[in-house]
Structures are given as C-alpha cells and as structure tokens.
C-alpha cells in the first residue's frame, strides 16, 4: 500500500521577518499574522537566509525589515530581487518605549522590528540605486579627504606652536599656497627625529591635496555627463551654488519626486525647527539634530556665499541679524536656498536672479 505525501505549503500566508544585522551575525525573528514562529541567529549571508525561508516556509509571502546602518542597502536589493519584500527603516523612526530602551539586545531588537512590521507601524526609507550610491560616494570621499586635510593642517600649526614657531593665518593664507608650503618645507628643527615627524605631516598634506585635486576633476567630469549636466546647469544659476555643491545636492537628493512638500524636503536636509512644548511652556530650537549632514553643510556654506553675492539675500540676512545671531540667520537663508533648489529640480524651470 503506497502512502501519498503532501508537501507543506505556506501559500496565502504572510511571514513578518525582523532582522538585526551586524558585520558577522544576523539575528532573525519570524512571525505570522497571529503567531511567533522562530527566532534564531545566522552568519551574515543573504543566500543562506533566502534558502532557509524557501525551505522551511515554501510558498509564503515574505516581508522583511532591518535598520539602516553600516550594511547599507545591498541586502534589501538582494532580497527584493529574489521576490522577498524588504524594507529599510531609520532607527530614529522606530517607536520605542522607555522599557525597551533600558533592555536592548539584538534578539529583542529583531523581535520588535517584526512586531512593528506586522502592525504596520514602520515607514521605510528611500532605497537608492547602486549606481547613484557610487556617484554619491565620490562626493562623500572628497568631503572626507578635505576634513582630513584640515585636521592635518591644524596638527602642523600645533606642532610648530609647541616648538615656539608661530604661524598666523595671514602667513598661511586660506588655501595654503605653494609658496607657503615651500616655506614650511624649509623649516629645520634641531634634531632629526623632530624633523622627520614634521615632514611626515607635510607629506600627508601634499598627499591629500593631490587626491583632492584628482577627485575634484572626476566630479567635474561626472557633472558633464547626460545624467547630471542639465540639472547641474540649472542649479548653478542659484547664487551660492557651484558645480561641486550642485553635485552634492543631486547625489544626496537623487529623486526629488519623493518629497511631496517643502517641509518634507527641509526635514530631510535638517533645516526644520525642533519643538518640545507643553501647556504654557514653549521650547523651540533653530534646527533638529536629525539631518543629512552633507546636504545641510553644503546649503549653509552656499548661503554664506549667497548673502555676499545676491542683493535680495543680502537684504534678508541684514534684516534677520537685527533680531538674531548670524549663526541663526544663516539657517533661515539656507531654508530660502532649499526652497529654490526644490523649485528648480521639481519644475525644471530656470532660476530668476534677484527674486526673493
């Protein structure tokens, strides 16, 4: 007598999968609409997770979520390409009680993510295309090199000051000219050990400068490609925005259509005020801590240029400084610049100089 074996199928069932991802290990929690199914750990391997889900729960509809972080978006891309719906969330958007904050482990994090996903309380962030992320990396690497170069220059000043060799900003100039670098290379300390240490710092500056020039050239070449040239030409019409800052804006924003309002765009940049008010007490700050640092820094720097070059911005800044500090006034100007950026990118219209 033959026995008929029916293969198990989860067709029509939805599985909610919370993942706490780390460099070497992922912690996974799997829930159904009503049940807790499984919680386990595995090595950081997308193929292994995909095969596990298909083997243990064949035919199910899979919904996954993990927090944005070092892992980036490659895992979500891989899972989505395999028909496994995956959402990436900002850690700041995850509802958390005080009790959960005081008892936080990888296992509880994965379980909470799965439960919130099942309850529909999570909103995923925008997942960029790989090619867009690589373009963004070029701009972010340039910014990183500039920060490192500035730190090394400060170390050189501190080094010389330690040995009683004072260097003023007027001598150094804004960009540390070749003449000034030649002057530094001519400085001689009393012992070879000190000289070696000093020259090592100078070599770091020379090395960074060469790489920054090279990467800046690549960014300018990228800005002239069909993908960017039209929008770059529109953005540089806005006072304060040059080719590099335009490329920062484009590679950080990517798809302007994902911002349905001015406030959403400002919120992404980090230019909206923070408010914590209750009853008769009002507590407001100029900007929130949550922001896109690259975009915010670029727009603030562009605003300082704009207030010196465009009359309407100059007037607006002067009026603002009558009632607040310059550091707060420039944030208001950055909001105006962000409005112009949003309008230009959303409509494709050219910016009209001097219109406030």
Do 140 and 169 reside in the same domain of the chain? yes
> Does residue 114 sit in the same domain as residue 28?
yes
53-94, pLDDT tens digit by residue?
Answer: 999 999 999 999 999 988 889 999 999 999 999 999 998 888
In-domain check, residue 342? yes
Contact 33, 14 (CB under 8 A): yes
Instruction: Calculate mean pLDDT across residues 151-179.
Output: 82
In a domain, 5, yes or no: no
In a domain, 109, yes or no: yes
Q: Does residue 149 fall inside a structural domain?
A: yes
Contact yes or no for 44/22 (Cβ under 8 A): yes
pLDDT at 331: 94
pLDDT tens column, 214-259 = 999 999 999 999 999 999 999 999 999 999 999 999 999 999 999 9
Is residue 32 within 8 A of residue 12, CB to CB? The reply is: no
> What is the C-alpha separation between 336 and 354, in angstroms, rounded?
13
Helix residue spans in 224-325 (DSSP H): 229-235, 243-253, 262-269, 293-309, 311-321
Secondary structure (3-state) at 212 = helix
3-state SS assignment for residue 6: coil
Tens digit of each residue's pLDDT (9 = 90 or more) over 287-298: 666 789 999 999
As for how many domains the chain has, the answer is 3
347: exposed, middle or buried (Cβ count in 10 Å: 0-12, 13-18, 19+): exposed
Share of the chain above pLDDT 90, in %: 75
Q: Which residue has the tokens 């009503």?
A: 34
Same domain, 243 and 340: yes
Rounded percentage of the chain residues whose pLDDT exceeds 70: 90
Backbone angles phi, psi at 159, to 5 degrees: -60, -50
pLDDT exceeds cutoff 80 at 138: yes
CATH number, domain at 60?
A: 3.30.420.40
Q: What is the pLDDT of residues 197-218, one digit of tens each?
A: 999 999 999 999 999 999 999 9
Domain boundary among 119, 147, 166: 119
Confidence (pLDDT) at 214: 97
- pTM for this predicted structure: 0.86
- Half-sphere CA count of 17, side-chain side, radius 13 A: 27
Task: Kindly tell me if the per-residue pLDDT of 276 is higher than 80.
Answer: no
pLDDT at 175 > cutoff 80? no
Whether 275 has a pLDDT exceeding 90, the answer reads no
Pair 29, 110 in one domain:
yes
Over residues 125-149, the mean pLDDT reads 95
Task: Determine contact, residues 254/132, Cβ cutoff 8 Å.
Answer: yes
Specify whether 85 is located in the same domain as 153: no
Q: How far apart are alpha carbons 187 and 160 in whole angstroms?
A: 10
The residue range of the domain holding 324 is: 229-276+288-347
Q: Are 205 and 156 in contact (CB under 8 A)?
A: yes
Give the pLDDT score at 356.
Answer: 46
SS3 call for 38: strand
Domain shared by 233 and 336, yes or no? yes
Boundary residue ending a domain (98, 119, 140):
119
Q: 39 and 73 in one domain?
A: yes
At 30-56, the pLDDT tens digits run 999 999 999 999 999 999 999 999 999
Say whether both 293 and 236 belong to one domain. Answer: yes
Strand order across the beta sheet in which 25-31 lies: 36-43, 25-31, 14-21, 61-67, 85-89
180 in the same domain as 112: no
CA separation, residue 272 to residues 108, 275, 285 (Å): 33, 10, 9
Is 163 domain-assigned?
Answer: yes
CB 42 within 8 A of CB 20: no
CA distance 210 to 199: 17
**Given this model, what pLDDT does residue 272 score?**
84
Whether 352 maps to a domain, the answer reads: no
The verdict on 55 and 156 lying in the same domain is no
**Considering just the CA atoms, what is the radius of gyration of the chain in Å?**
27
Task: Indicate whether 280 pLDDT > 70.
Answer: no
Asked whether residue 355 is assigned to any structural domain, the reply reads no
One domain for residues 182 and 247:
no
Q: What is the mean pLDDT of residues 153-172?
A: 83
pLDDT of residue 6: 62
Domain end position, chosen among 119, 149, 177 = 119
Please state, in angstroms and rounded to a whole number, the distance separating the CA atoms of residues 226 and 244.
Answer: 16
Query: Which residue did the predictor score with more confidence, 278 or 210?
Result: 210
d(CA 100, CA 123) in angstroms, rounded, equals: 20
Beta bridge partners of 281: 278
Helices and strands: H and E segment counts in the chain: 14, 7
At 277, the pLDDT band (50, 70, 90 cuts) reads very low
Q: Assign 168 a pLDDT band (cuts: 50, 70, 90).
A: low
- Stretch (H or E) spanning 338: helix 326-347
Q: Nearest to residue 68, comparing CAs of 136, 137, 125, 134?
A: 125
First to last CA, the chain: 88
Q: Are residues 233 and 343 in the same domain?
A: yes
């Amino acid at each position: 007598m033959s026995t008929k074996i029916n293969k198990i199928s989860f067709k029509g069932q939805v599985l909610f999968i919370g993942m706490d991802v780390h460099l070497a290990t992922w912690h996974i929690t799997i829930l159904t609409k009503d049940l807790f199914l499984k919680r386990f750990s595995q090595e950081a391997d997308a193929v292994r997770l995909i095969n596990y889900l298909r083997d243990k729960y064949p035919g199910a509809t899979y919904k996954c979520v993990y927090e944005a972080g070092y892992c980036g978006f490659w895992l979500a891309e891989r899972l989505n390409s395999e028909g496994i719906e995956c959402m990436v969330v900002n850690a700041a958007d995850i509802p958390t009680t005080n009790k959960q904050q005081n008892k936080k482990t990888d296992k509880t994090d994965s379980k909470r993510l799965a439960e919130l996903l099942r309850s529909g309380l999570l909103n995923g962030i925008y997942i960029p295309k790989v090619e867009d992320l690589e373009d963004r990396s070029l701009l972010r690497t340039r910014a990183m090199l500039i920060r490192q170069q500035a730190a090394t220059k400060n170390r050189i000043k501190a080094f010389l000051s330690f040995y009683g060799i004072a260097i003023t900003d007027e001598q150094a100039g804004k960009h540390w000219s070749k003449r000034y670098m030649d002057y530094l290379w001519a400085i001689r300390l009393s012992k070879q050990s000190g000289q070696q240490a000093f020259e090592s710092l100078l070599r770091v500056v020379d090395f960074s400068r060469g790489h920054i020039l090279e990467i800046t050239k690549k960014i300018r070449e990228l800005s002239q490609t069909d993908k960017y040239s039209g929008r770059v030409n529109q953005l540089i019409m806005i006072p304060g925005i040059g080719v590099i800052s335009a490329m920062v804006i484009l590679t950080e924003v990517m798809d302007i259509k994902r911002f349905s309002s001015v406030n959403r765009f400002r919120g992404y940049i980090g230019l909206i005020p923070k408010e914590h008010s209750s009853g008769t007490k009002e507590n407001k700050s100029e900007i929130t801590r949550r922001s896109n640092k690259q975009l915010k820094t670029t727009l603030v720097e562009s605003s300082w240029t704009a207030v010196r070059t465009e009359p309407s911005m100059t007037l607006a800044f002067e009026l603002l400084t009558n009632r607040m500090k310059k550091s707060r006034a420039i944030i208001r100007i950055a909001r105006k610049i962000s409005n112009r950026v949003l309008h230009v990118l959303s409509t494709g219209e050219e910016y009209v100089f001097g219109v406030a």
